[in-house]
């Protein structure tokens, strides 16, 4: 029988399926069902710095306020009884205490000082690792991309100095050269990368003529971007690779492992198909490995990464040439007449 165990950021996992950060952790009965189905680890939903700061946080005001911080101040965030970190930290600690699998905390912060402060607080809950969410929504024409990257790399360095548990970085794909940026994070000491964060995008209601943020699940094929970068990164970085977004079935999981991912995170497929879908995926993975004669994940992980393929242009722009040469095939599938 196939051995599904794997390693992620030094954590020994019984299989490569991780529950991604989501509100599913609010339901103890769902967590129990997921653990029974075989999920290997759980990422607790994110602690957002906005939860701790005033609800109507104004970024410019906060930036100026932080200029006046001094070493004599004992805490950087205000004491808010029910919206601050205390409740969140308690819930993380409770899940860790009651869970039979590793628990990873997730963090979104704004300033280097608070990134470090909250990271230390989360480590004290006993979690097995920390996942930090780096992102920068463009809002000002004057801000250069290199400055954003430098600040984010410094955040990773500071967090790694402050905590002892493994630290993964959940990334946006929107960097000029994502590979170069990940290389910098690798040098900064990151233990893993989650490819990629899925942001809620604004939408417009044309009847009421107002903005709104629809709550949409990931769609099939969204995993292809993660597949591309897993294939490019495998064997070229020290940290672990976790694929995310649009992973809908066992076939997607197998593809991402072949490309070079160590593990995958799933959320939307659980919402759509019940926690038991984890067992379905694991049974399918085991059956596929038995059929192929693979005894362990390591036997085929990264087999189709760029590093292990003879084609030097795999995962790069040359693919477009091949696609364009076969463009007539689309009409066979979708005839116009």
Total domains present in the chain: 1
Q: 3-state secondary structure string, 69-98?
A: CCCCCCCCCCCCCCCCHHHHHHHHHHHHHH
Q: Residue 149 falls within a domain, yes or no?
A: yes
pLDDT in tens, 191-222: 999 998 876 677 888 888 887 776 677 777 78
Tell whether 243 is covered by a domain. Answer: yes
Element (H, E) at 168: strand 167-171
Q: How confident is the model at residue 248 (pLDDT cuts 50, 70, 90)?
A: very high
Kindly report the number of other CB atoms within 10 A of residue 335's CB atom: 7
Q: Looking at the domain assignment, is residue 332 inside a domain?
A: no
- Please say if the pLDDT value at position 276 is more than 90: yes
- Whether this prediction's pTM lies above 0.75 is answered by yes
Whether the predicted pLDDT of 18 surpasses 80: yes
Say if residue 315's pLDDT is above 90.
no
Provide Rg for the chain, Cα atoms.
21
Between the CA of residue 25 and those of 33, 39, 193, what are the distances in Å?
11, 13, 22
Average pLDDT over residues 48-56: 59
User: Model confidence at 321, in pLDDT bands (50, 70, 90)?
Assistant: low
For the cut 50, the answer to whether the pLDDT of residue 83 exceeds it is no
C-alpha 224/C-alpha 255 separation (Å) is: 9
d(CA 117, CA 113): 6
- Is residue 87, in this structure, part of any structural domain at all? yes
Residue among 257, 255, 260, 254 nearest 231 (CA): 260
| DSSP notation for 26-51 | G-HHHHHHHHHHT--EEEPPPEEHHH
Question: Once rounded to an integer, what is the mean pLDDT over residues 314-319?
Answer: 65
What is the average pLDDT score of the chain? 86
* pLDDT at 319 (0 to 100): 58
Q: Does residue 70 surpass a pLDDT of 50?
A: no
In a domain, 323, yes or no: no
pLDDT of residue 52: 62
Dist CA 216 CA 224 (whole Å) = 18
86: exposed, middle or buried (Cβ count in 10 Å: 0-12, 13-18, 19+): middle
Of the candidates 73, 170, 144, 79, the one whose C-alpha atom is nearest the C-alpha of residue 113 is 73
Tell me what pLDDT residue 324 has. 60
Is the confidence at residue 31, as pLDDT, over 50?
Answer: yes
Give the rounded percent of residues in the chain with a pLDDT score beyond 70. Answer: 82
Residue 66 has pLDDT above 70, yes or no: no
Phi, psi of 206 (to 5 degrees): -75, -15
Q: Is residue 72's pLDDT more than 50?
A: no
Write down the pLDDT at residue 204.
87
Going by their DSSP bridges, the two strands 167-171 and 192-195 should be labelled as: parallel
**pLDDT digits over 108-136, tens only?**
998 899 999 999 999 999 999 999 999 87
Does 320 map to a domain? no
**Residue 292's domain spans which residues?**
6-306
Phi first, then psi, for residue 171 (nearest 5°) are: -110, 155
Say how far apart CA 219 and CA 200 lie, in whole Å.
Answer: 13
pLDDT at 158: 97
CATH number at 66 reads: 3.20.20.70
Q: What is the pLDDT of residue 208?
A: 84
86 part of a folded domain: yes
In a domain, residue 216? The reply is yes
9-13, 240-244, 309-313: least confident range: 309-313
pLDDT of 51 reads 61
pLDDT of residue 77: 47
């Amino acid at each position: 029988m196939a051995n599904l165990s794997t390693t992620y950021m030094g954590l020994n996992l019984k299989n490569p399926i991780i529950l991604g950060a989501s509100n599913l952790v609010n339901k103890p009965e769902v967590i129990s069902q997921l653990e029974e189905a075989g999920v290997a680890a759980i990422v607790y939903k994110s602690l957002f710095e906005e939860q701790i700061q005033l609800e109507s946080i104004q970024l410019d005001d906060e930036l100026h306020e932080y200029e006046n911080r001094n070493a004599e101040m004992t805490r950087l965030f205000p004491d808010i009884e029910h919206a601050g970190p205390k409740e969140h930290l308690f819930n993380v600690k409770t899940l860790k205490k009651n869970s039979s699998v590793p628990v990873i905390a997730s963090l979104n912060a704004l300033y280097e000082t608070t990134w470090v402060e909250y990271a230390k607080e989360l480590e004290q809950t006993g979690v097995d690792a920390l996942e930090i969410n780096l992102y920068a929504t463009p809002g000002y024409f004057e801000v250069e991309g290199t400055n954003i990257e430098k600040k984010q790399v410094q955040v990773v360095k500071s967090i790694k100095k402050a905590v002892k548990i493994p630290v993964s970085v959940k990334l946006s794909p929107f960097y000029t050269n994502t590979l170069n940026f990940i290389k910098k994070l690798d040098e900064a000491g990151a233990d893993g990368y989650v490819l990629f964060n899925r942001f809620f995008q604004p939408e417009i209601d044309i009847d009421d003529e107002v903005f709104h943020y629809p709550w949409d699940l990931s769609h099939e094929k969204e995993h292809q971007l993660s597949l591309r970068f897993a294939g490019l990164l495998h064997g070229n970085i020290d940290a672990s690779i976790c694929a995310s977004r649009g992973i809908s079935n066992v076939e997607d999981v197998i593809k991402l492992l072949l490309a070079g991912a160590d593990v995958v995170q799933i959320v939307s497929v659980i919402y759509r198909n019940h926690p038991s879908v984890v067992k379905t995926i694991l049974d399918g993975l085991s059956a596929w490995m038995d059929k192929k004669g693979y005894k362990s994940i390591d036997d085929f992980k990264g087999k189709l990464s760029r590093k292990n393929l003879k084609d030097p242009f795999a995962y790069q722009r040359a693919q477009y040439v091949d696609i364009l040469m076969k463009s007539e095939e689309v009409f066979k599938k979708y005839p116009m007449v």
